[in-house]
Homo-oligomer: A and B are copies of this chain.
Amino acid sequence: MSDIICTVDVVLLTLKNGALHVALLKRDHPPFEGVLALPGAYVQADEDADTQESAARMLRAKTGIASPYLEQLATFSGRCRDPRGWSLSVAYYALVAEKSLVPAVHPDVTLSAVEQIKDLPFDHRQIVDAAVRRVRDKSAYSSLPVHLCGETFTLPRLQAVYEAVLGEPINKVSFRRKIEELAILERVEGAMETGKAHRPAQLYRLKKHFRQCLSLSDRALNATH
């Protein structure tokens, strides 16, 4: 019906050693066979209700990750980006905790620090850059970074994640007040993190409602006012 190649690509981001990393997979067919690239797939009109479902299906099949926080980034298109012809990729980004991506579970996934990526096939480098910009822009004003934390976490851990994404230290008192205002967290009753050098700390998790949608703040979480 159309001579346009329709695909989805996902920028799957995690924090490793305090730095944003992107998950790359070796391509198992031409073009660029054997080269590390973003996980992607054709949109399947007979299987997928929409492109969000295409992205979720592909991610589950290729990385084993189910139901991450997944948001549409932008659509990249044109006649030059894919040697097979005029193509269009609806790009998504997803945020997951590092432990969801350990190599033992996902032997095919390579984690690359976003600051150190040299080159990627197609326009995947441009897609990664756009995703990282989006995540940094949104993080100061939303619950987005919580999705990098894993299922349960302490408040000091959450603050460290925000600081890593935003690239700057945050005032503890105002950070805690704004996280409180976002009203996204619930205590895990009776659960404390112990065994560290510090005193035991309460564990929190994201309220169910916010696992697939964000809570937005009108004041930056890294501002002191």
Residues of chain A touching chain B, judged by Cβ–Cβ distance below 8 Å, are 1-6, 42-43, 45, 49-51, 72, 74-75, 77-80, 85-86, 88, 90, 225
Contact = CB atoms under 8 A, between A and B. Distances in A.
A121 to B, nearest CB: 18
B6 A45 contact: no
Contacts of A86: 45
A45 B75 contact: no
Contacts of A6: 2, 4, 6, 88
Contact of A43 (B4, B45, B80, B225): B4
A40 to B, nearest CB: 15
A49 B79 contact: yes
B78 A49 contact: yes
A144 to B, nearest CB: 15
A4 B1 CA distance: 7
A191 to B, nearest CB: 37
A72 B90 CA distance: 12
The list of the 3 closest CB pairs from A to B, nearest first, reads: A50-B78, A45-B86, A51-B77
Contact of A75 (B2, B5, B51, B80): B51
A54 to B, nearest CB: 8
Contacts of A49: 78-80
Contact of A4 (B2, B72, B74, B75): B2
Given A45-B79, A74-B72, A75-B72, A51 B88 contact: yes
A5 B49 CA distance: 14
B90 A45 contact: no
Contacts of A78: 49-51
B85 A45 contact: yes
22 contacts: A1-B2, A1-B5, A2-B2, A2-B4, A2-B6, A2-B42, A2-B43, A3-B45, A4-B6, A6-B6, A6-B88, A43-B77, A45-B85, A49-B78, A50-B78, A50-B79, A51-B75, A51-B77, A72-B75, A75-B75, A75-B90, A77-B90
